Structure 1
Amino acid sequence: MNRTKQLALFFAILGMALLVSIWIGYQFLDPFNRDTIIATIPFDLSFSLISTFLFVVFNRIFHGMGGLGFVESKLVHSSQISVSFADVIGIDEAVEEAREVVQIVKDRMTSPKKKTKRIIRGLLLLGPPGCGKTLLAKAIATEAGLPFLALSGSDFVEKWHSLGASRIRGVFKEARRLSEQKGACVIFIDELDVIGRMRDFSTSAGEEETNRTLTQLLVEMDGLNQAEKGNIIVIAATNASEDVLDRALLRPGRFDRKLYVDIPGSEGREKLFRHFLSRVSSEKDIPVHALAQMSTGKNAADIENIVREAALIAAKENHATISLDDLMTALDKLELGMRSHAHLSDKERIRVAYHESGHLLAARFFSPEAEIVKVSIAPRRRKFSVVQQIPKEDVHIRNKETYLTRIRIHLGGYAAERIMFENTSELVREDFIQATAIAREMVWAWGMGSSGLIGNYHAIDVRDISDTFKQHLDNDSETLLRQSLEATEELLTRNRGLLERVAARLLEKEELKTEEILAIFKH
């Protein structure tokens, strides 16, 4: 007999017992009380029905929100995920560590009683968004052949009192049941920082509820350290810095491993392009290495989006296959926005052309090892113009000269406008933001100022630094900017004829590619 039939039989017997009790009691009442009871029966019956209905409705709501119904909705079997380590591309180091985690879990499943076996209870995935943390967690569950409870930190945040803690208990209860049946279970919590931030012991109701939820998670993860609590591994992912998380979460015994899933390097981006292009119809001779170089700083999600957008562009242009031009157009569209229909006046176009020519010459002469892919003055949604330059290889450590070069390139447009028009425009806004930020970091954090001041002053509360000392730091930053501007203006003045030729060619064609740019510099 199933549970539903058992409940129906129970309520039927209970109802009959109540009716018999009421009938017996009614027989012993005097006529006046009998009439009173009969008169109030419709009201009592209506009230009882409404109360029962509300009880059933709210019981179902809370059962679904915090109980078994909620947990079952988050259960995914490994056969349904179908994500293997072969599908996780561009983050080879993270995959290797994940393989070791899977092996540890399998060893534990095959020999659960052996005390010598390594045990892992928690795995924390850290890194920027879109790099494959969730995909890696799914691959771990699939490779280990385990049931997978997939949740988000926001699943535990509700306005109902203690509902977050109740859901945590429900999830771990179900995980223990699945662990007993299947040998092990994976609990995956995405956006851990939503419930795992450093606790704030203020009196606000929201903070109290979040604290209760985090405390319950800590209690449940402590329970996993007891020998016979089941083979459960908790995998959590967050885009936030490790410093944001509560220290109690990070201590050994809760999250035993920390796995950093970072933005892929050049080789990783090349593999990602090959992978996503293999899933669509594309030309065979596409220079994937060049695409990888042009997409510096892009993650797996970005590259997938570039290929998807290129497929849409190819379909729109009735191309049978995706070409390099389609991919370049997609990259421009996602990075710079669609072409704008804004019509600049002749004077405005001339200013924009000289502005970008200034950037181009500064990039060419101050950073000759990097390849200039394109310069354009075609208006777009996010920028009026752009110079695209790619390094020949990924750079992981930058020195003072590298940062000075970046500042000079950012100031190239400003310097060109000063030379050609003896005034400047609002085109320099974004350039100034970038140049000022670099100069400030050089002085305040990396000890690269001309006065010799050293130390990372961002690590100190700005209120603890005297106004005089802050003025010294700011003066150093301004000195770097002025020296960089002088070097850039000197370069452009010395090559004014070349500056004018580049600007004229830009006004004629609006967009110049690598070969056309190199041809101008050769003459």
Structure 2
Amino acid sequence: ARVRKLFKQARQYARAYGACIIFIDELEVVGKQRVFMDAFGGSSESNSTLNQLLVEMDGLHDDAAHIVVMGAMNAREDVLDPALLRPGRFDRTITIGRPNLAERKDIFEHYAKKIQLDPAVDMARLARKAVYKTPAEIENILKEAALISVRNRRDMVNYKDLSEAIERIELGVAHRLSMTQKERETTAYHEAGHLLMVYLTHPTNDVFKASIVQRGGILGVVHSIPREELYTSDGHTLRAHIRVALGGYAAEKLKYGVTSNGVSSDFENAMQIAHTMIWSYGMGGFVGDFTVIPHHQLSESLKEKLNMETNNLLQSCIKEVEETLRREMHILDRFAQELVKRDELDYDEIVSIFQEYGKPPKSIPLPAVRTEVPA
């Protein structure tokens, strides 16, 4: 009844003004695939709503009312009922992706007008720190930064507030544990190992934060994000992910000769990447995606060879990590000491220390500028 009433009203507007647009937000709620055999009868109402929407969109009416129906959703297109996507209904699809660097800068500037922002804040730098963020997430960052500024009794939001807002949203609220000095040092060396591997060896990522303050149940974290939008990862990048994951383990082993149980999640991450590279991406001695073959149809000898290649890949990566950290042990010691002393290091502080040892940061791309060429 509500759908009939909606389209009836739309036809009245169309006759009066020449045309009418119906916009349906969260289309997947009413347009999801119909269920014809529900033992609990819960699908009957949603099926009736969708059926009425399909009838109305067929446009089988005598009047010449011009009605355009538009819908928006965040889900995949395949969740919709196929009947909705037939010609004459929702037969045109427009995909809106996440904003790029230049667009994020514009979005930050738009939402920044709603708060008291320090003029010294570099919007381009802020946009680089928000890779893959949606407009809603960017708005949330500015709102969280405003709350942080108010808690600190400041009238204007500065860059530190914005940086803290991103960390709070992505990493969780900081909680200082009472740890022994040995635990603090071990955690500091662990995170310093991750930090060095990102800064010195990763082809696409950069370090924006290193911390030994507990967040979300973990004792420390190195916050690393891509320098720019990337939609594929090659073998070099995936190997770099593995090296970064193993950096904490290698640092602990080099410094103390023994490792802690804090490496468990790093091992899980590294092994998952290595397994996928060999079993799915053909980045070893075998070509093909062996995960699509039922496990019982793979021979034991083939599975053993694939697992051996996975292990060889991990061994190769850990060897590279240990060589790098041995070579830069003096820098590893320095960062561990700084983390024990300060608890946290921001991007500028990290770069400043590396520059003392003659290691400048990698270049960061500037926002693309579109130029029109006259005909």
Higher RCO (CA 8 Å, separation ≥ 6 residues): 2
Q: Is the 8 A contact 2:131 2:227 kept in 1?
A: no
Residue by residue, what CA displacement relative to the aligned partner does 1:433-480 show, whole Å, maximum 9, x if unpaired? 4333433443444332x123224x56x474685364666555544443
Partner residue of 2:330? Answer: 497
Query: 1:466 maps to which residue?
Result: 298
- Residue 356 of structure 1 is matched in structure 2 by 191
In 2, the alpha carbon distance for the partners of 1:242 and 1:311 equals 36
**Code of the aligned partner of 1:499:** L
Matched, 1:223 2:65: no
Q: 1:311 offset after TM fit, Å?
A: 1.5
CA deviation digits over 1:232-265, x for unaligned, max 9? 2222222222222222222222113211121111
Listed as ranges, the matches of 1:20-419 within 5 Å are 166-204=1-39, 205-223=41-59, 228=63, 230-367=65-202, 370-381=205-216, 383-419=218-254
Tell me what 2:373 maps to. none
State how far apart, in whole Å, the 1-side matches of 2:342 and 2:149 are.
24
Match of 1:259, SS state, is coil
Equivalent position SS for 1:257: coil
1:505 partner SS: helix
Question: Which residue number in structure 1 is paired with residue 361 of structure 2?
Answer: none
Partners in 2 of 1:301 and 1:470 — Cα distance? 45
Which secondary structure state, in structure 2, belongs to the residue aligned with residue 193 of structure 1?
Answer: helix
Matched letter for residue 217 of structure 1 = L
Q: Which moved more, 1:268-277 or 1:425-434?
A: 425-434
Could you say if the C-alpha distance between residues 257 and 194 of structure 1 is closer, same or farther in structure 2, counting changes exceeding 3 Å? same
Alpha-carbon distance, 1:482 to partner: 3.2
Distance 2:330 2:256 in 1: 15
Q: Identify if the C-alpha distance between structure 1 residues 261 and 476 changes in structure 2 by more than 3 Å, giving closer, same or farther.
A: farther
1:453 to 2:302 alignment: no
Deviation at 1:363, TM superposition (A): 0.9
For residues 379-427 of structure 1, the C-alpha deviation after alignment (integer angstroms, 9 at most, x for no partner) is 2235422223344433333311111111211221122223333443343
SS at match of 1:296: coil
Paired residue type of 2:328? N
- The answer to whether the 8 Å contact 1:336/1:382 transfers is no
C-alpha contact (below 8 Å) 1:264/1:298 kept by paired residues = yes
Deviation at 1:339, TM superposition (A): 1.6
Q: Structure 1 residues 483 and 172, CA, compared in 2 at 3 Å: closer, same or farther? A: farther
In structure 2, the CA distance between the partners of 1:294 and 1:404, relative to structure 1 (3 Å rule), is: same
- Name the stretch that deviates more: 177-186 or 337-346: 177-186
Tell me, yes or no, if the aligned pair for 1:340 and 1:380 is still in contact at 8 Å. yes
Q: CA deviation at 1:303?
A: 0.9
What is the match of residue 316 of structure 2?
Answer: 483
Please report how far the alpha carbon of residue 319 of structure 1 lies from its aligned counterpart in structure 2 after TM superposition.
1.9
Share of identical aligned residues, percent?
Answer: 39
Are the structure 2 counterparts of residues 464 and 213 from structure 1 closer, same or farther at C-alpha, using a change threshold of 3 Å?
farther
Structure ranking higher in helix proportion: 1
Equivalent-residue separation in structure 1 for 2:282 and 2:115 (angstroms): 49
Quickly say closer, same or farther: Cα 1:368–1:312, change in 2 above 3 A.
Answer: same
Rounded to whole Å, the distance in 1 between the matches of 2:200 and 2:180 is 30
What is the rounded CA distance, in whole Å, between the counterparts of 2:54 and 2:281 in structure 1?
38
What is the CA distance between 1:515 and its match in structure 2? 4.1
- Equivalent residues of 1:336, 1:383 under 8 A apart: no
Q: Secondary structure at the match of 1:374?
A: strand
AA aligned to 2:195 is L
The CA distance in 2 between the partners of 1:238 and 1:183, in whole Å, is 28
Whether 2:263 is the aligned partner of 1:428: answer yes
TM-score by length of 2: 0.84
1: CA distance, partners of 2:309 / 2:81: 37
State the Cα distance separating 1:298 from its structure 2 match.
1.2
| Kept in 2: contact 1:190–1:236 (CA 8 A) | yes
Aligned AA for 1:384? L
Is the 1:196–1:245 Cα contact (8 Å) retained in structure 2? Answer: yes
Q: Return the alpha-carbon distance in structure 1 between the equivalents of residues 134 and 13 of structure 2.
A: 35
Residue 346 of structure 2 is matched in structure 1 by 513
Q: Against the structure 1 CA distance between its residues 476 and 511, is the aligned structure 2 distance closer, same or farther, given a 3 Å change threshold?
A: same
- 1:30 aligns with none
- Residue identity in the other structure for 2:65: G
Aligned residue pair count: 354
Q: How many Å separate the matches in 2 of 1:231 and 1:442? A: 53
Residues of 2 paired with 1:464 and 1:183: CA distance? 64
Cα deviation, residue 487, structure 1: 1.8
Shift of 1:193: 2.3
Distance 1:313 1:519, change over 3 A: closer
Match of 1:25 in 2: none
3-state SS of 2:174 partner: coil
| Cα distance in 2 between the residues matched to 1:463 and 1:240 | 31
Q: How far does residue 359 in structure 1 lie from its aligned partner after superposition?
A: 0.2
Cα gap change, 1:208 to 1:368, in 2 (>3 Å): closer
Cα distance in 2 for partners of 1:253, 1:245 equals 15
CA deviation after TM superposition for structure 1 residue 354, in Å:
0.9
